[in-house]
Amino acid sequence: MNRVHNFSAGPATLPVSVLEKAQSELTNYKGKGASIMEMSHRSTEYKEVNDQAVARLKELTGAGDDWEVLFLQGGASTQFLMAPFNFLSEDQTADYIDTGSWSAKAIKEAKLFGSVYVPFSSKDKNYTRIPTNEELNSSDDAIYTHFTSNNTIFGTQFQAEPETDGSLLVCDASSDFLSRPIDIDKYGLIYAGAQKNLGPAGVTVVMIRKSLMEKQKSVALPTMMNYQTHIDKIFNTPPVFAVYMVNYVLEWVQEKGGVSYFEEFNTKKADLLYSEIDKDEFYHGTVEKDSRSKMNVTFRIKDENLEQTFLSEAAESGLVALKGHRSVGGIRASIYNACEYDSVKTLVDFMQEFRNNNG
Protein backbone atom coordinates (compact mmCIF):
# COMPACT_ATOMS: atom_id res chain seq x y z
CA MET A 1 0.00 0.00 0.00
CA ASN A 2 1.13 3.50 -0.77
CA ARG A 3 -0.47 5.24 2.22
CA VAL A 4 0.69 8.64 3.42
CA HIS A 5 1.40 9.65 7.00
CA ASN A 6 -1.92 11.38 7.66
CA PHE A 7 -2.01 14.04 10.40
CA SER A 8 -5.46 15.38 9.56
CA ALA A 9 -7.47 16.85 12.43
CA GLY A 10 -10.62 15.27 11.03
CA PRO A 11 -11.80 13.37 9.20
CA ALA A 12 -8.75 11.61 10.54
CA THR A 13 -6.75 8.50 9.79
CA LEU A 14 -8.43 5.18 10.52
CA PRO A 15 -6.89 1.84 11.51
CA VAL A 16 -5.78 0.02 8.36
CA SER A 17 -7.04 -3.30 9.70
CA VAL A 18 -10.52 -1.81 10.11
CA LEU A 19 -10.48 -0.37 6.58
CA GLU A 20 -9.41 -3.74 5.21
CA LYS A 21 -12.13 -5.56 7.13
CA ALA A 22 -14.75 -3.16 5.79
CA GLN A 23 -13.32 -3.55 2.30
CA SER A 24 -13.65 -7.34 2.47
CA GLU A 25 -17.31 -7.02 3.49
CA LEU A 26 -18.24 -4.06 1.34
CA THR A 27 -20.28 -5.89 -1.29
CA ASN A 28 -21.27 -8.97 0.70
CA TYR A 29 -21.74 -8.50 4.44
CA LYS A 30 -21.40 -11.81 6.29
CA GLY A 31 -22.57 -13.84 3.33
CA LYS A 32 -25.90 -12.02 3.00
CA GLY A 33 -25.27 -11.01 -0.61
CA ALA A 34 -25.58 -7.29 0.06
CA SER A 35 -23.59 -4.50 1.64
CA ILE A 36 -24.44 -3.34 5.16
CA MET A 37 -25.15 -0.01 3.45
CA GLU A 38 -27.93 -1.68 1.48
CA MET A 39 -29.63 -3.29 4.46
CA SER A 40 -32.56 -1.93 6.43
CA HIS A 41 -31.71 -0.29 9.71
CA ARG A 42 -34.51 -2.47 11.11
CA SER A 43 -32.75 -5.64 9.99
CA THR A 44 -31.31 -8.24 12.35
CA GLU A 45 -27.86 -7.57 10.87
CA TYR A 46 -27.88 -3.86 11.63
CA LYS A 47 -29.43 -4.35 15.08
CA GLU A 48 -26.49 -6.60 15.90
CA VAL A 49 -24.04 -3.90 14.76
CA ASN A 50 -25.80 -1.24 16.85
CA ASP A 51 -26.02 -3.45 19.93
CA GLN A 52 -22.36 -4.47 19.67
CA ALA A 53 -21.25 -0.85 19.39
CA VAL A 54 -23.30 0.13 22.44
CA ALA A 55 -21.92 -2.75 24.49
CA ARG A 56 -18.34 -2.04 23.46
CA LEU A 57 -18.62 1.65 24.27
CA LYS A 58 -19.98 0.89 27.71
CA GLU A 59 -17.24 -1.62 28.40
CA LEU A 60 -14.47 0.73 27.24
CA THR A 61 -15.74 3.71 29.24
CA GLY A 62 -16.90 1.84 32.34
CA ALA A 63 -20.48 3.01 31.83
CA GLY A 64 -23.05 0.85 33.59
CA ASP A 65 -26.78 0.33 33.31
CA ASP A 66 -27.33 3.97 34.27
CA TRP A 67 -26.17 5.04 30.80
CA GLU A 68 -27.84 5.28 27.41
CA VAL A 69 -25.80 5.28 24.18
CA LEU A 70 -27.18 6.97 21.07
CA PHE A 71 -25.85 7.26 17.53
CA LEU A 72 -27.13 10.55 16.17
CA GLN A 73 -26.37 12.89 13.28
CA GLY A 74 -25.46 16.56 13.00
CA GLY A 75 -22.03 16.43 14.61
CA ALA A 76 -20.97 17.98 17.88
CA SER A 77 -22.28 21.29 16.57
CA THR A 78 -25.85 19.98 16.86
CA GLN A 79 -25.11 18.81 20.40
CA PHE A 80 -24.14 22.40 21.26
CA LEU A 81 -27.84 23.08 20.71
CA MET A 82 -29.41 19.81 21.75
CA ALA A 83 -27.92 19.54 25.25
CA PRO A 84 -29.22 22.89 26.54
CA PHE A 85 -32.46 22.45 24.57
CA ASN A 86 -33.15 19.35 26.70
CA PHE A 87 -31.72 20.38 30.06
CA LEU A 88 -31.44 24.16 30.43
CA SER A 89 -34.49 26.30 31.19
CA GLU A 90 -34.83 30.08 31.32
CA ASP A 91 -34.78 30.08 35.12
CA GLN A 92 -31.70 27.84 35.34
CA THR A 93 -27.96 28.34 34.99
CA ALA A 94 -25.38 26.12 33.33
CA ASP A 95 -21.64 26.60 33.71
CA TYR A 96 -19.59 26.64 30.50
CA ILE A 97 -15.78 26.59 30.70
CA ASP A 98 -14.43 28.58 27.76
CA THR A 99 -11.16 27.15 26.43
CA GLY A 100 -11.46 27.50 22.67
CA SER A 101 -13.50 28.07 19.54
CA TRP A 102 -15.74 25.05 20.05
CA SER A 103 -16.62 25.87 23.65
CA ALA A 104 -17.37 29.44 22.54
CA LYS A 105 -19.80 28.07 19.94
CA ALA A 106 -21.42 25.88 22.60
CA ILE A 107 -21.84 28.92 24.85
CA LYS A 108 -23.54 30.84 22.05
CA GLU A 109 -26.11 28.07 21.58
CA ALA A 110 -26.77 27.58 25.29
CA LYS A 111 -27.60 31.26 25.76
CA LEU A 112 -30.67 30.71 23.60
CA PHE A 113 -32.25 28.58 26.33
CA GLY A 114 -31.14 29.82 29.74
CA SER A 115 -28.49 31.56 31.78
CA VAL A 116 -24.86 30.74 31.06
CA TYR A 117 -22.15 31.37 33.60
CA VAL A 118 -18.50 31.16 32.53
CA PRO A 119 -16.33 30.09 35.49
CA PHE A 120 -13.16 30.48 33.41
CA SER A 121 -12.13 31.77 30.01
CA SER A 122 -8.72 31.85 28.38
CA LYS A 123 -9.94 33.88 25.42
CA ASP A 124 -7.87 36.88 26.52
CA LYS A 125 -4.78 34.63 26.32
CA ASN A 126 -5.75 33.44 22.84
CA TYR A 127 -6.85 30.12 24.34
CA THR A 128 -3.31 29.01 25.14
CA ARG A 129 -4.11 27.35 28.46
CA ILE A 130 -6.46 25.17 30.46
CA PRO A 131 -7.55 26.30 33.94
CA THR A 132 -6.45 24.75 37.18
CA ASN A 133 -9.25 23.67 39.51
CA GLU A 134 -8.31 26.55 41.78
CA GLU A 135 -9.09 29.00 38.98
CA LEU A 136 -12.59 27.67 38.38
CA ASN A 137 -15.21 29.85 40.01
CA SER A 138 -18.33 27.70 39.71
CA SER A 139 -21.79 29.20 40.02
CA ASP A 140 -24.27 28.13 42.67
CA ASP A 141 -26.66 25.34 41.67
CA ALA A 142 -25.45 24.90 38.07
CA ILE A 143 -27.71 22.39 36.33
CA TYR A 144 -24.57 21.05 34.63
CA THR A 145 -21.01 22.09 33.78
CA HIS A 146 -19.95 21.96 30.14
CA PHE A 147 -16.36 21.62 28.97
CA THR A 148 -14.47 20.74 25.81
CA SER A 149 -11.96 18.10 26.85
CA ASN A 150 -9.56 18.69 23.95
CA ASN A 151 -9.25 21.72 21.68
CA THR A 152 -8.30 20.77 18.14
CA ILE A 153 -7.63 24.29 16.90
CA PHE A 154 -5.40 25.61 19.67
CA GLY A 155 -3.86 22.33 20.83
CA THR A 156 -4.87 22.32 24.49
CA GLN A 157 -6.35 19.53 26.58
CA PHE A 158 -7.72 19.02 30.08
CA GLN A 159 -5.37 16.67 31.88
CA ALA A 160 -8.23 15.54 34.14
CA GLU A 161 -11.89 16.34 34.68
CA PRO A 162 -12.53 19.82 36.07
CA GLU A 163 -14.00 20.16 39.55
CA THR A 164 -17.60 21.34 39.46
CA ASP A 165 -18.83 21.69 43.04
CA GLY A 166 -21.24 18.83 42.48
CA SER A 167 -22.85 19.48 39.12
CA LEU A 168 -22.57 16.74 36.51
CA LEU A 169 -20.24 17.27 33.58
CA VAL A 170 -21.45 17.66 30.03
CA CYS A 171 -18.48 17.08 27.76
CA ASP A 172 -17.66 17.66 24.12
CA ALA A 173 -15.14 14.82 23.88
CA SER A 174 -14.98 14.78 20.08
CA SER A 175 -11.23 14.89 19.70
CA ASP A 176 -9.91 12.80 22.59
CA PHE A 177 -12.68 10.28 23.26
CA LEU A 178 -11.23 6.86 24.16
CA SER A 179 -7.68 8.19 24.10
CA ARG A 180 -7.38 7.82 27.89
CA PRO A 181 -9.51 6.67 30.84
CA ILE A 182 -12.16 8.99 32.26
CA ASP A 183 -13.88 9.15 35.62
CA ILE A 184 -17.31 8.22 34.28
CA ASP A 185 -19.02 8.94 37.61
CA LYS A 186 -18.44 12.67 37.14
CA TYR A 187 -20.34 12.87 33.84
CA GLY A 188 -23.96 13.33 32.94
CA LEU A 189 -23.58 13.56 29.16
CA ILE A 190 -20.71 12.91 26.76
CA TYR A 191 -20.86 13.58 23.04
CA ALA A 192 -18.28 13.07 20.35
CA GLY A 193 -18.16 13.46 16.60
CA ALA A 194 -16.80 10.18 15.24
CA GLN A 195 -14.31 11.56 12.75
CA LYS A 196 -11.36 11.87 15.15
CA ASN A 197 -10.91 8.70 17.20
CA LEU A 198 -14.06 6.68 16.52
CA GLY A 199 -14.63 6.28 12.81
CA PRO A 200 -15.64 8.17 9.67
CA ALA A 201 -17.62 11.40 9.62
CA GLY A 202 -21.39 11.14 9.69
CA VAL A 203 -22.30 9.91 13.16
CA THR A 204 -22.10 11.45 16.61
CA VAL A 205 -21.87 9.27 19.70
CA VAL A 206 -23.98 10.54 22.60
CA MET A 207 -23.84 8.96 26.06
CA ILE A 208 -26.44 10.12 28.60
CA ARG A 209 -26.78 9.19 32.24
CA LYS A 210 -30.32 8.17 33.09
CA SER A 211 -30.24 10.26 36.26
CA LEU A 212 -29.58 13.34 34.12
CA MET A 213 -32.52 12.43 31.90
CA GLU A 214 -34.69 12.77 35.00
CA LYS A 215 -33.80 16.48 34.92
CA GLN A 216 -34.98 16.93 31.35
CA LYS A 217 -37.32 19.86 30.77
CA SER A 218 -41.01 19.09 31.08
CA VAL A 219 -41.94 21.37 28.18
CA ALA A 220 -42.68 19.98 24.73
CA LEU A 221 -39.57 19.59 22.59
CA PRO A 222 -39.25 19.09 18.83
CA THR A 223 -39.27 15.35 18.17
CA MET A 224 -35.79 15.03 16.66
CA MET A 225 -34.24 17.35 19.24
CA ASN A 226 -35.60 15.33 22.16
CA TYR A 227 -33.10 12.81 23.51
CA GLN A 228 -36.01 10.70 24.76
CA THR A 229 -37.03 10.11 21.14
CA HIS A 230 -33.85 8.15 20.49
CA ILE A 231 -33.58 6.16 23.72
CA ASP A 232 -34.36 2.43 23.51
CA LYS A 233 -35.18 2.67 19.81
CA ILE A 234 -33.75 3.68 16.46
CA PHE A 235 -36.29 6.38 15.62
CA ASN A 236 -35.10 7.31 12.15
CA THR A 237 -32.63 5.94 9.62
CA PRO A 238 -29.17 6.23 11.18
CA PRO A 239 -25.90 6.61 9.26
CA VAL A 240 -25.63 2.84 8.95
CA PHE A 241 -22.15 2.59 7.44
CA ALA A 242 -20.66 5.10 9.88
CA VAL A 243 -22.01 3.18 12.89
CA TYR A 244 -20.79 -0.07 11.33
CA MET A 245 -17.29 1.44 11.09
CA VAL A 246 -17.46 2.79 14.65
CA ASN A 247 -18.28 -0.71 15.85
CA TYR A 248 -15.18 -2.13 14.19
CA VAL A 249 -13.00 0.70 15.52
CA LEU A 250 -14.29 -0.06 19.02
CA GLU A 251 -13.45 -3.73 18.47
CA TRP A 252 -9.95 -2.68 17.40
CA VAL A 253 -9.54 -0.55 20.54
CA GLN A 254 -10.51 -3.54 22.66
CA GLU A 255 -8.12 -5.86 20.84
CA LYS A 256 -5.25 -3.41 21.31
CA GLY A 257 -5.77 -3.40 25.07
CA GLY A 258 -8.46 -0.83 25.68
CA VAL A 259 -8.30 2.79 26.74
CA SER A 260 -5.37 2.30 29.14
CA TYR A 261 -3.26 1.01 26.24
CA PHE A 262 -3.98 4.10 24.19
CA GLU A 263 -3.23 6.41 27.09
CA GLU A 264 0.30 4.99 27.19
CA PHE A 265 0.63 4.85 23.41
CA ASN A 266 -0.57 8.42 22.89
CA THR A 267 1.73 9.72 25.62
CA LYS A 268 4.67 8.01 23.94
CA LYS A 269 3.87 9.64 20.59
CA ALA A 270 3.25 13.07 22.09
CA ASP A 271 6.44 12.98 24.16
CA LEU A 272 8.49 12.17 21.07
CA LEU A 273 7.05 15.06 19.10
CA TYR A 274 7.10 17.65 21.89
CA SER A 275 10.71 16.74 22.70
CA GLU A 276 11.68 17.69 19.18
CA ILE A 277 9.71 20.93 19.35
CA ASP A 278 11.40 21.87 22.64
CA LYS A 279 14.92 20.94 21.56
CA ASP A 280 15.85 24.50 20.62
CA GLU A 281 14.27 27.72 19.38
CA PHE A 282 13.86 26.68 15.75
CA TYR A 283 10.43 25.20 16.59
CA HIS A 284 8.24 26.32 19.43
CA GLY A 285 4.90 25.21 20.83
CA THR A 286 1.92 27.55 20.82
CA VAL A 287 0.36 26.72 24.20
CA GLU A 288 1.50 26.48 27.80
CA LYS A 289 3.27 23.20 28.47
CA ASP A 290 0.97 21.97 31.22
CA SER A 291 -2.02 22.48 28.91
CA ARG A 292 -0.64 20.68 25.87
CA SER A 293 -2.80 18.27 23.94
CA LYS A 294 -1.72 14.70 23.20
CA MET A 295 -4.09 14.66 20.24
CA ASN A 296 -3.36 17.91 18.38
CA VAL A 297 0.22 19.13 18.59
CA THR A 298 0.45 22.76 17.46
CA PHE A 299 3.70 24.57 16.81
CA ARG A 300 5.38 27.32 14.81
CA ILE A 301 8.76 27.84 13.18
CA LYS A 302 10.86 30.70 14.51
CA ASP A 303 10.99 32.18 11.02
CA GLU A 304 7.31 31.88 10.10
CA ASN A 305 8.16 32.55 6.46
CA LEU A 306 9.54 29.01 6.38
CA GLU A 307 6.26 27.38 7.37
CA GLN A 308 4.82 27.08 3.87
CA THR A 309 8.08 25.56 2.67
CA PHE A 310 7.92 23.13 5.61
CA LEU A 311 4.37 22.10 4.69
CA SER A 312 5.18 21.69 1.01
CA GLU A 313 8.32 19.63 1.59
CA ALA A 314 6.56 17.55 4.22
CA ALA A 315 3.78 16.71 1.76
CA GLU A 316 6.38 15.70 -0.83
CA SER A 317 7.74 13.31 1.80
CA GLY A 318 4.32 11.77 2.41
CA LEU A 319 3.57 13.78 5.57
CA VAL A 320 0.18 15.35 4.88
CA ALA A 321 -2.50 17.52 6.54
CA LEU A 322 -0.04 19.39 8.77
CA LYS A 323 -1.36 22.88 8.12
CA GLY A 324 -2.72 24.60 11.21
CA HIS A 325 -6.35 25.64 11.40
CA ARG A 326 -7.09 28.61 9.14
CA SER A 327 -7.99 30.78 12.15
CA VAL A 328 -4.57 30.43 13.81
CA GLY A 329 -2.13 29.28 11.13
CA GLY A 330 1.10 27.50 11.95
CA ILE A 331 1.56 23.73 11.94
CA ARG A 332 -0.63 21.08 13.56
CA ALA A 333 0.01 17.36 13.80
CA SER A 334 -3.08 15.43 14.88
CA ILE A 335 -1.96 12.13 16.37
CA TYR A 336 -5.15 10.35 17.36
CA ASN A 337 -5.37 6.71 18.40
CA ALA A 338 -4.99 5.36 14.85
CA CYS A 339 -1.91 7.48 14.09
CA GLU A 340 0.99 5.05 14.14
CA TYR A 341 4.17 5.66 16.12
CA ASP A 342 6.11 5.27 12.88
CA SER A 343 4.24 8.26 11.43
CA VAL A 344 5.28 10.46 14.35
CA LYS A 345 8.86 9.18 14.14
CA THR A 346 8.93 9.94 10.42
CA LEU A 347 7.64 13.47 11.11
CA VAL A 348 10.32 14.02 13.78
CA ASP A 349 13.02 12.81 11.39
CA PHE A 350 11.73 15.25 8.77
CA MET A 351 11.70 18.09 11.32
CA GLN A 352 15.32 17.39 12.17
CA GLU A 353 16.34 17.40 8.52
CA PHE A 354 14.37 20.58 7.86
CA ARG A 355 16.09 22.30 10.78
CA ASN A 356 19.51 21.21 9.53
CA ASN A 357 18.76 22.58 6.07
CA ASN A 358 17.18 25.84 7.18
CA GLY A 359 18.47 26.64 10.65
Tell whether 252 is in a known binding site. no
Tell whether 236 is in a known binding site. yes
> Active-site residue 176, yes or no?
no
8 Å CB contact between 128 and 287: yes
Contacts 24+ apart (CB under 8 A), 74-78: 74/204, 75/193, 75/201, 75/204, 76/102, 76/172, 76/174, 76/191, 76/192, 76/193, 76/204, 77/105, 78/204
Q: Are strands 319-320 and 296-301 parallel, antiparallel or unpaired?
A: unpaired
d(CA 78, CA 202): 12
d(CA 270, CA 292): 9
| CA distances in angstroms from 346 to 6, 12, 150, 216, 240, listed in the order given | 11, 18, 25, 49, 35
Per annotation, catalytic residue among 67, 95, 98, 172: 172
> Active-site residue 345, yes or no?
no
d(CA 101, CA 128): 12
Tell whether 183 is in a known binding site. no
> Active-site residue 67, yes or no?
no
Residue type, 35: S
Return the DSSP state at 36.
G
Per annotation, catalytic residue among 67, 95, 102, 294: 102
d(CA 206, CA 3): 32
Q: Are strands 319-320 and 5-6 parallel, antiparallel or unpaired?
A: parallel
Tell whether 23 is in a known binding site. no
Tell whether 228 is in a known binding site. no
Tell whether 237 is in a known binding site. yes
Per annotation, catalytic residue among 95, 196, 269, 294: 196
- Read out DSSP for 228-296? HHHTTS--S---HHHHHHHHHHHHHHHHHTHHHHHHHHHHHHHHHHHHHHTSSSSEEESS-GGGB-SSE
**Orientation of helix 258-277 relative to helix 341-358, angle to 10°:** 0
Helix or strand holding residue 206 (H, E): strand 204-209
d(CA 297, CA 155): 6
8 Å CB contact between 9 and 152: yes
Tell whether 77 is in a known binding site. yes
Tell whether 42 is in a known binding site. yes
Residues known to be catalytic: 102, 172, 196
Could you tell me which residues are annotated as the binding site for pyridoxal 5'-phosphate?
76-77, 102, 152, 172, 195, 236-237
Could you tell me which residues are annotated as the binding site for L-glutamate?
42
